[in-house]
Structure 1
């Protein structure tokens, strides 16, 4: 079995950027993706609009043309498909990494489709695959989801949206406009201060006028078949409910990091240990790229400010002279 120079775990935008840099440097590499190409973007809501402008999401010298200033999910999926095709990136789709193990001077990776040996690993798994659970009774009921695609299933239904960040706000507004009876559960005094500036006044006005109900400084206590129990500043409240959309965020794949021995910070962020100049973790030959670098602080890294990780990582790998 030949030993790769680099194995990239994750075929999202940052994984593709790493692949491009490997192509430029003539490295022998493979990108392994457990789902579709840019799987995290594929799982975004159908009508989602990016916060970033299209030019800030560009990579590999390929222009990103979008109809509006800020691209949509569909436009991004098409753009990164063209990126992968134009650069002829070596991407293996629907191949999930099962185990990663350090051998003498290389790593052995076993996936759902085979075994690889590589001198370097880049972890660019994103964070959209593993939801941040509320850990309350009833969270496993069929009416509860941590993912949202479109509003049509919720027409005329009593829904609860948990969370106050961008995803929750988008879900609340979109389902309300299609005829859902929407109640938001906000753990703070209001929606997140970082909600998209063109959306924040909309949701705040809908809450103020009572079109969308909101419990502030509140948490879900229990989810039942036809109702939800909420802890509020005024005590326990029970409301009728058909669906719960828990937009509570997502967490990185800590299991892969743990297998490799990557250290995590002891505070609430659980941020992986890595050198910010070259993205190498405390394990030599293991690099981190994209939002996985933030641990539970997933708001610090985005596509537009993580693309640079690819150049830093591959530059360091080539500079070591061990490829």
Structure 2
């Protein structure tokens, strides 16, 4: 396959990357999806017991039905759905292959990975934002007791756990660890639990905090992490708390450096939104398209599966119009 000129290369095999592949296949284009991890790698790395905020029909792609046992599907159900969509449609996907560079020549894009080199007329980047965590940037954050991803509660049973953040992921982790026997303290920079927290979960965490089952420090932040304790700054002054593990779920961001190396420009404000045409999803680099949550820059709550599914069709229609 080396140096064969493809019609489209899609980078990222998440739900939106899969949706883009389906659009390519419908048009009989010669395409390839390249994914550095597992299929739907971000979903795979979600907590084992996670439940989506969206209902199953809003997670469907290409009108392929997604049937779940409950109104809100689970992580495992989503993995099964996207896996079946991929295999039943025989989509052309290379997993565990990482794109290193994308270079635009006069006519084509040259894509170099850790395994091969490719040429393509168009490139779609649908890489999401789950790979790079927002760091606390405090002393001790490099210790092995600090986690920026959360999988399950069992390892934290009978331990002193600090959960940093007040988003859906932080609240889910705090409640699950508490119910599995962990001693949970939440460190929250804001005044209260986030308003975006799932409506059926938010009353639960507020009640656990009110009754004292979960301790919460609001308007507070960690200032340092040590082997057996953490230090935090609160409105009542600095405090030193016994601690075994820190679960810092403070959000994630796209790989901006990768996009910059491709030549994509960004807004100059703190949102750092990449430049693209919302009608076609084409970036400022001709022939290079953006799809999915990566389009939001630092506004990682702007795009979801349910409202970015349309990106695949917009891109395919624009490519078809040019060809």
**Band the TM-score falls in, shorter-chain normalisation:** over 0.9
- Structure 2 equivalent of residue 258 of structure 1: 260
- Structure 1 equivalent of residue 269 of structure 2: 267
Instruction: Return the alpha-carbon distance in structure 1 between the equivalents of residues 126 and 265 of structure 2.
Output: 16
Q: TM-score, normalised on structure 2?
A: 0.98
Instruction: Return the alpha-carbon distance in structure 2 between the equivalents of residues 77 and 94 of structure 1.
Output: 17
Instruction: Return the alpha-carbon distance in structure 1 between the equivalents of residues 114 and 257 of structure 2.
Output: 16
Would you say 1:104 and 2:106 are equivalent positions? Answer: yes
- Structure 2 equivalent of residue 178 of structure 1: 180
Instruction: Return the alpha-carbon distance in structure 2 between the equivalents of residues 77 and 63 of structure 1.
Output: 14
Instruction: Return the alpha-carbon distance in structure 2 between the equivalents of residues 235 and 108 of structure 1.
Output: 56
Contact 1:10–1:124 (CA<8 Å) still a contact in 2? yes
Instruction: Return the alpha-carbon distance in structure 1 between the equivalents of residues 58 and 244 of structure 2.
Output: 40
- One of 17, 27, 35 as aligned partner of 1:15: 17
Q: TM-score, normalised on structure 1?
A: 0.98
Instruction: Return the alpha-carbon distance in structure 1 between the equivalents of residues 136 and 26 of structure 2.
Output: 44
- 1:290-309 mapped onto 2 (5 Å cutoff): 290-309=292-311
Would you say 1:233 and 2:235 are equivalent positions? Answer: yes
- 1:1-323 mapped onto 2 (5 Å cutoff): 1-321=3-323
Instruction: Return the alpha-carbon distance in structure 2 between the equivalents of residues 5 and 252 of structure 1.
Output: 25
Instruction: Return the alpha-carbon distance in structure 1 between the equivalents of residues 15 and 126 of structure 2.
Output: 9
Question: Structure 2: where are the runs of 5+ without partners?
Answer: none
Q: CA deviation at 1:59?
A: 1.5
- Give per-residue Cα distances to partners, 1:252-304, cap 9 Å, x unaligned: 01122111110111111111111111111111111110000001110011001
3-state secondary structure, aligned to 1:211: coil
Instruction: Return the alpha-carbon distance in structure 1 between the equivalents of residues 269 and 234 of structure 2.
Output: 27
Instruction: Return the alpha-carbon distance in structure 2 between the equivalents of residues 104 and 210 of structure 1.
Output: 64
Q: CA deviation at 1:2?
A: 2.2
Q: CA deviation at 1:232?
A: 1.2
Contact 1:60–1:83 (CA<8 Å) still a contact in 2? no
Count how many residue pairs are aligned between Structure 1 and Structure 2. Answer: 321
3-state secondary structure, aligned to 2:240: strand
3-state secondary structure, aligned to 2:309: helix
Question: Structure 1: where are the runs of 5+ without partners?
Answer: none
Instruction: Return the alpha-carbon distance in structure 2 between the equivalents of residues 76 and 222 of structure 1.
Output: 38
Instruction: Return the alpha-carbon distance in structure 2 between the equivalents of residues 231 and 208 of structure 1.
Output: 21
Instruction: Return the alpha-carbon distance in structure 1 between the equivalents of residues 30 and 321 of structure 2.
Output: 15
